[in-house]
Amino acid sequence: MDESKIMVVSMTDGRVGLTYEPARFHRVWPSRGAKIAVDKEMLREAIYEEGVATLFREGMLYIEDMAFKKELGLEPDDAEEPQNIIPLDEKLMRRMMTVMPTAEFKDRIKALSREQCMDLADYAVENELTNFEKCEVLRGLTGINILNAIQNKRLSEEPANDTVSNNL
């Protein structure tokens, strides 16, 4: 890849758009995992815009290059591994909601942004992951009652029972 470009990855299930008018830059990441090469110099300028910075600080967009993240101030200068934004992939979300011990889960979730906690809650609902303690921790952070949402999802997926007799 061109040295003047950096790969930016979408970390959310929905569409994410980044607009920086001074450079006439507008790109849309259609789904989780979508990657777009972005000009480094433009990103160095755009990161000072609150909306652009928020996309990266909240974990909606992610830069894999640790040195460039440090340069932009998204990670501490002494960081070896991501500390401010932990990339949440499906494998990690499943592990967090299933086999990860609750104490480790509570510690790990402190490093996640609100947007990432919302993504984790959505993932738990979609995959019907019902660890009560973890669901309660997420409920406190997101306001989403995962267990109720799963129940509502199941009810909406059931075929309608027509109990009215056709003999009337």
Q: Which residue has the tokens 């652009």?
A: 52
Average pLDDT over the chain reads: 88
- Alpha-carbon distance of 48 to 115, in angstroms, equals 20
Q: Which residues of 138-148 are buried (b: 16+ CB within 10 A; e: fewer)?
A: bbebbebbbbe
User: Does residue 164 have a pLDDT over 70?
Assistant: no
Least trusted range by pLDDT, from 27-31, 54-58, 97-101: 54-58
Categorize the per-residue pLDDT at 161 as very low, low, confident or very high, splitting at 50, 70 and 90. low
- The per-residue pLDDT for range 30-47, each reduced to its tens digit, is 998 899 999 999 999 999
pLDDT given for residue 163 in this prediction: 53
- The per-residue pLDDT for range 9-28, each reduced to its tens digit, is 998 888 999 999 998 999 99
Categorize the per-residue pLDDT at 166 as very low, low, confident or very high, splitting at 50, 70 and 90. low
